[in-house]
Amino acid sequence: PVLLVLDVSGQSQTAAAVARGFMMHDPAVRIGGLVLNRIGSARHEKLIREAMAPLGLPVVGAIPRTDALTLPERHLGLVQADEHGDLAARLAALADMAEAHLDLDAILALAQETATPDAPARHLPPPGARIALARDAAFSFVYAHLLAAWRAAGAEILPFSPLQDEAPDESCDACWLPGGYPELHAGRLAAAARFRDGMVRFAQTRPVHGECGGYMALGASLTDATGTAHPMLGLLGLETSFARRKMTLGYREARLLAPSPLGPVGGTVRGHEFHYATITARGADAPLADLKDGQGNAIGPEGSRRGQVTGTFFHAIAPV
């Protein structure tokens, strides 16, 4: 069953209509209970509960509207957990809120056992036995299941921080630059000489792959939101800009046009793309994949490859 959390600020009957819509939209999905979020007052809660009563949907919580529980956001979502100096206090406050305003016993009673699929999950194979992984505030968007699968397959992952001017470990046989916020740290990345020299040296003999923000860092330049252009690694010809923002979002199916850390030529990988970068130049690099969107519509060539360096805007989820 689904526990539905509704933002009911400024609503009463409308919130009930929305809840009814969720209940009826897909017969295969059972809404088990409802949490009212951003309640304005005791009277507001009473009105909403009265409006919900005819639905027969149990209301298992009512959370008051308060700025104290609001987490800061930026253009790709919430500010990440490791950037909060007061994270422990925030989590404690959220736990106190949950105990005070949610019927936790009722929520647990809604839960049901589920079974894992019979077919084993498919995982992207590790690109090497020892993988250098960029990991800091500029490069932090990497799927946890991807790293877990690599470790389960026997790979060792060695993190390094480009923002601390660290280079990939020379003992590694592959390098992975995840997504993140290089646009917020472009000046520091451009000035990180050891990182830049180490990446160029590494790419001469071993595969390097970048996803989204990592792809942009592998490119020739990145223009930040103020219009300032910063030189990137120059391992690919891609040039991107945040001065002219354009949101790109959606699931992707990629047929690989060349062998890469994502798989063999002709292989197909599913992924997800979400960014606000505008491509201002692609250089002369060949594309890495032919893309379709989540509905199977052709998007066309995407990504870049040059020597052993590859990059894509989509984050790989799993092979098809």
Confidence of residue 260 (pLDDT cuts 50, 70, 90): very high
pLDDT at 302: 96
Pairing of the two strands 221-223 and 77-78: unpaired
Averaged pLDDT, 277-295: 96
CA distance 182 to 73: 17
- Based on the fold, state whether residues 188 and 293 are members of the same structural domain: yes
Minimal CA–CA distance to 271: which of 200, 188, 212? 212
pLDDT at 47: 96
pLDDT at 116: 80
- Based on the fold, state whether residues 101 and 144 are members of the same structural domain: no
Is the pLDDT at 112 greater than 90? The verdict is: no
Average pLDDT, rounded, for the chain? 94
Would you say residue 125 lies in a domain?
A: no
Would you say residue 118 lies in a domain?
A: no
- Based on the fold, state whether residues 76 and 139 are members of the same structural domain: no
Would you say residue 123 lies in a domain?
A: no
- Based on the fold, state whether residues 200 and 263 are members of the same structural domain: yes
Structural domain total, the chain: 2
For 44-98, write each residue's pLDDT tens digit. Answer: 999 999 999 999 999 999 999 988 777 777 556 666 767 767 778 888 988 999 9
Is the pLDDT at 291 greater than 90? The verdict is: yes
- Based on the fold, state whether residues 48 and 92 are members of the same structural domain: yes
Would you say residue 186 lies in a domain?
A: yes
Would you say residue 119 lies in a domain?
A: no
- Based on the fold, state whether residues 77 and 192 are members of the same structural domain: no
From residue 37, give the alpha-carbon distance in Å to each of 45, 51, 61, 92, 309.
10, 15, 8, 19, 47
Confidence of residue 262 (pLDDT cuts 50, 70, 90): very high
- Based on the fold, state whether residues 83 and 167 are members of the same structural domain: no
Give the rounded percent of residues in the chain with a pLDDT score beyond 90. 86
Residue with tokens 């992984």: 133
Identify the residue with better confidence: 85 or 14: 14
Would you say residue 255 lies in a domain?
A: yes
pLDDT at 149: 96
- Based on the fold, state whether residues 46 and 137 are members of the same structural domain: no
Pairing of the two strands 208-211 and 174-177: parallel
Minimal CA–CA distance to 308: which of 238, 236, 208, 210? 208
Instruction: List the domain range (segments joined by +) for residue 189.
Output: 130-319
pLDDT at 237: 98
Which positions ≥6 away from 214 have C-beta within 8 Å? Answer: 134, 139, 176, 177, 178, 179, 180, 182, 311
- Based on the fold, state whether residues 18 and 90 are members of the same structural domain: yes
Is the pLDDT at 145 greater than 70? The verdict is: yes
pLDDT at 179: 95
Averaged pLDDT, 10-39: 95
Would you say residue 122 lies in a domain?
A: no
Is the pLDDT at 30 greater than 80? The verdict is: yes
Would you say residue 121 lies in a domain?
A: no
pLDDT at 78: 63
- Based on the fold, state whether residues 194 and 234 are members of the same structural domain: yes
Averaged pLDDT, 182-210: 97
- Based on the fold, state whether residues 134 and 106 are members of the same structural domain: no
Averaged pLDDT, 180-191: 96
CA distance 198 to 284: 24
CATH number at residue 237: 3.40.50.880
pLDDT at 84: 67
Residues annotated catalytic, as ranges: 212
- Based on the fold, state whether residues 87 and 151 are members of the same structural domain: no
